Amino acid sequence: MNPYRILSGNMLEYMYIMKKVIPFRQSLFWDVDPKTIDPKKNARYVIERILDFGNGKEVKWMWQHYSIRAIKKVLLLPRAQLHKKSKALWSLMLK
């Protein structure tokens, strides 16, 4: 199973349209230019960063653009790039 294939049908089309409207801080994606991030192709990366370091505005954006199922799927990946405390918090919140 490919962990990057977490979105489906209409959501993918919507994400393609929203591709250029990502209001992310440079400090959230310190290792890349936020303008180059494709929310469809880099869904796992985007979700992981927001769950770990996102502010309220970015978390709200995540809820509007990714399904709860997609977020849970990333959270439950055995090799998810999340700090233990972030993973514990979001696991409780998404029960």
Q: How many CA atoms lie within 13 A of 30 on its CB side?
A: 3
Is 3 domain-assigned? no
- Report DSSP state, residue 35: G
pTM > 0.85: yes or no:
no
- Report DSSP state, residue 75: H
Is 4 domain-assigned? no
In terms of residue numbers, what domain contains 53? 9-93
Is 46 domain-assigned? yes
pLDDT in tens, 10-32: 665 555 545 545 677 888 888 88
Give the chain's domain count.
Answer: 1
Is 30 domain-assigned? yes
